[in-house]
Every structure is written in structure tokens, then in C-alpha cells.
Structure 1
């Protein structure tokens, strides 16, 4: 069972693991953001800036696409060259901002890693979904050399067909019978509109596809390449940065954070997290969305302050 985060200096030894942290991987939705929020609260921006000049890196590990996360990433003290985990681990990019004419910032992202769902499996996902009243959106990435990439979304729907989806990307809508044989997305979301029976029926059929994995939200099923998750992505990031597990702290709230929380040297779930996330965590914050994440960040800062005293123990 996960412990509560240390809250007293009476036992400095509790802070020792936190004093080793060099990388903090934090989820966005449900951890830093409420479900109805589109902008990061000033409270977290102000607090995160305390790490701006430290030797501790903050990285984002999100299920969002770059289109959906870029405006948030730009406001956080994420250093140039720092990896960013997107699509719940299917895509990893590196922030690579440059200055152009008139000191204008040119936003570039260097691709590091990508996993894809095979076209054959994608076709089966669409065929299974076509039997139900659902909406399916496939998220694809195309690399352009070493400096940039393009995202696009392709959809099939028995319900509404909005011009843009949750991540602000325009969607190219196709008929259920239209499945391009070149489509190999990094993630697919099946919106079941809260119908639990439909979710159960589709999930049962998806289990027959060997090279995919999937997780559930309250109103959707997310399909990813097999063995693809935030934990596996974090291993890649750790290797790139030359860090060990003990130097990494993960903060999350949902089932799709479970592998990241489990693999991190210290996994912290916010108080409002799912049972699966809490089960995979070492610690649980006393507070929920945003404040729970800040509580974890404060613990790291306190541990750094107490490091000299800890070395004497």
C-alpha cells in the first residue's frame, strides 16, 4: 500500500529518496489540469519556475498529441533539449527551439522515438468499431528529417463528425468502408459515448488483435501498439539522459500512468487518482488535481534543502 508523502521534518530520513531526484515526469490531464480546464493555473506555473535554474528537469508525459499539449508545454520551464512523452508513450520528441530573424522563436521538435499500430490491426479496429454507434479517431505522425514532424487525424463515425477533435487537430472523416492501407497510427481513440455495454463488447473483440494494447477512460477506449506505455517511454528517456530509476519521480492520476508510476524510482499519485494508479505508486498525495502534484514537487524541494543534514545521518 502506498504511503502518504512526507509532511514533517521530524524524520528527515523519509526525505532521502527524494533528495536523489534529477527528473520529474508529470502527467497533464487529471494531474495538473482538471478535465474542464484548457490552461494551466498560474499556481503551477509559478511553482514550476522554482526548478528553472536547478539541475532537476521537468518533463511532460501525456496522452495528448503535440497539437493538444504544445501551448501548455510552452508555459512550463521545460529546458531546450528535454524529451517530451506524447500519445501515452507512443511518441517521444525533444524540444528544440531556435531563434530566427528579429529574435523570433522558431518552434522545432526533434523526433526521438515512435511506435505504430500496424495497418492490418488498424483495419481490424475500424471493422470492429463499425458495428457500433461510436466515433473512431486515428492519430498519425509523419517525420520530416531530424527537425520536425506533422500530425494528422483520420476519423470514422456513426455519430457526430466535428471539424476538430479534442487536441485541436482537424479530422479527415472517412466512411467505414474506407480504410487507407497506408494508415499506421501511433494511437487510436474509440469514443463509446459512455455506453458501458458497447465498451465491453468492443474490448472483448479487441483482445483478439495480438499486436495492440488498450486502456479505458470513462467514455472511450484508447488503442496503442503492444507494450507501449508511459513507463516504457520513460525508460527510453532515462537512457537518453543517463539517469537511473532512483533519480526519477513520476506523478500521475490514471490507469494510463500506472506503468510510469511503477517504473519510476518514486511514483506519486494524486489523492483523486484511480485505484490502479494508486496501487502502482510508492506515495499518494494528500490532495487531488494540481495541489497533489504541487505537494510532490514541494517534497523534492524540501529534500534538496535537507540534503546536507541527510548526509550527516
Structure 2
């Protein structure tokens, strides 16, 4: 069962006003494998392109499977201190606000009871590591994940304590398995009443039913008043497919898998070629795309 809570938005766009007659774009950017490399490197070209798009009055919205607390440092590096963030694959929508105690305000949070999915997966993956997210704090885990994969405070708990309350996200990690194994497992066990996405490694994110980056971005689009035809999304993972289909212009990174590329309207260069930069620059110079 999904449970959500929403705060009233305050009309903060996080970008300078556009020139008269210019309708802003909403540019949704995945992080890992799109904006930064898998080694956490943000290129100068990408940093500058984001700054230039925002300076022109457009809305750059970071949209990631990452937790909120692992996204805010990147936002700070990009000098984004006002605007919107979509975290936890859409379960968390936050508005950056330098006046807020934590630097952000939670505007919408979707939660669910993780017990059924956890019990089912544990039957088939007893060796996996399981975690649930505590928004703005960190994770409760059955055992530690590989270094650097989860940020914030980590509390090791018994498996049954993972469903002590409703959560925004469940993370399943089985280093000895492959992403293909996870896809086969998800299809075989028939996960119900949840939305799941399999990462590039042996990693699965489980969110409330119907909650994706796309559902959260549609909420942000409504708050910003951006026309649906002025939306762009760039991503490279399976959890980006709905987002790419949602956007008027969905762009897949060149290294993305075929299902991701098929969901997009166009394909840019891969992460090593800074493909996101070409997309951002096209927002500014109105080059034809596709």
C-alpha cells in the first residue's frame, strides 16, 4: 500500500528568469553514467554546460536512484542551491532551499510496506544484502554494502527490522550475481504492488507501485508550470526508461543498453564522450536534434 505526504510548493524555480518571450525547458538529468562517470567524476565541460543552461533561465532537475543525501553534494558542486531534486527513483521530491536547515525541503515522499517484497526475495536470494532507506539519514541494512555504494548513516539490523515502518525504497545487492540474474528473478517471483528497477550491477531498487522518476518529474513539471512539450530527459539505465518516455525529448546515453536506447527519441555519445554536454548545449543554441 502506497502512502504519500506532500507539502505545498513555494514557486521557487531555482533558475534565473528567462529572456522575455523564452519558454523555459525542464531538463531532467540522471546522475551516474550520465552526468558523472561511474568513478564519480564530473567533467568541467558538464559542470559548465549545466551552469550555462541554468543561467539562461532553464530548469535543471537532477533525477536519480540515489538517496537525497547523496545527491545534495553534487548539487552543491554544480552550484545549484535552489530548484528541484528527484531522489530514490521518484519516491522523494525535494526543493533545494538555502534558508532551510538541511538545505532542502521535502515536498513529496512516497512510502510503502516493504515486508511482502522482502520476504519473497529473501526466499530466493538468502545470500543477498538488504537495505531500506531512511530519508535524510541513511540506511538500515542486514550487512554492509560495498564501499561507497550507500551514503549516510548505516545501521545494521536484523532482517525483520527492515519493515519496522513504511519506507521509500528497498535496495537489494548480491555481489555474486549479475544484473541478468536479477531480471530473471524479478520475472520469476512476480513482484506485486511495487515498482522495481535493476541496476547495471547486481542491484535492485524497489519502490512504491507506480512511483518512478517520470511520476516525480511530472509533479515537478506541474509545480514549475513548464509545458509538457518543453521537457528533456537524459539517462542511461533501466530506471530511466519511464523518464525517457515521459519527456518530449528523451535522450539515451550512447553506452546504454538496447532497451534504454529504444525508449529514447535519440541517442547521444556515451559517458566517456560527455554525451550529456551536447544535449545541454543544444538547449542553448537550438541546434536540430534527433
Task: Please indicate the TM-score interval, normalised by the length of the shorter structure.
Answer: 0.7 to 0.9
Per the alignment, residue 113 of structure 2 pairs with 118
TM-score scaled to structure 1, two decimals? 0.76
Contact 1:21 1:300 in 2 (8 A): no
* Offset at residue 140 of structure 1 (A): 2.2
Give deviations 1:57-112, integer Å, cap 9, x for gaps: 111001111221221111224352x110000111100001129xxxxxx5421111
* Offset at residue 190 of structure 1 (A): 0.8
Whether 1:28 aligns to 2:14 is no
Name the CA distance, whole Å, in 2 between partners of 1:57 and 1:132: 43
> Which structure has the larger Rg over C-alpha atoms?
1
SS in structure 1 at match of 2:138: strand
Whether 1:57 aligns to 2:59 is yes
* Offset at residue 169 of structure 1 (A): 1.8
Whether 1:214 aligns to 2:200 is no
* Offset at residue 241 of structure 1 (A): 0.7
TM-score scaled to structure 2, two decimals? 0.81
Per the alignment, residue 295 of structure 1 pairs with 278
Quickly say closer, same or farther: Cα 1:127–1:62, change in 2 above 3 A: same
Whether 1:191 aligns to 2:173 is yes
Range with bigger deviation, 219-228 or 282-291:
282-291
Range with bigger deviation, 70-79 or 184-193:
70-79
Per the alignment, residue 167 of structure 1 pairs with 150
Contact 2:75 2:81 in 1 (8 A): no
* Offset at residue 214 of structure 1 (A): 1.3
Runs of at least 5 residues in structure 1 that lack an aligned partner in the other structure: 1-18, 100-105, 142-149, 307-313
Whether 1:109 aligns to 2:95 is no
Name the CA distance, whole Å, in 2 between partners of 1:62 and 1:256: 9
Runs of at least 5 residues in structure 2 that lack an aligned partner in the other structure: 1-21
Name the CA distance, whole Å, in 1 between partners of 2:39 and 2:146: 20
Q: How does 1:129-168 map onto structure 2 within 5 Å?
A: 132-141=126-135, 150-157=136-143, 161=144, 166-168=149-151
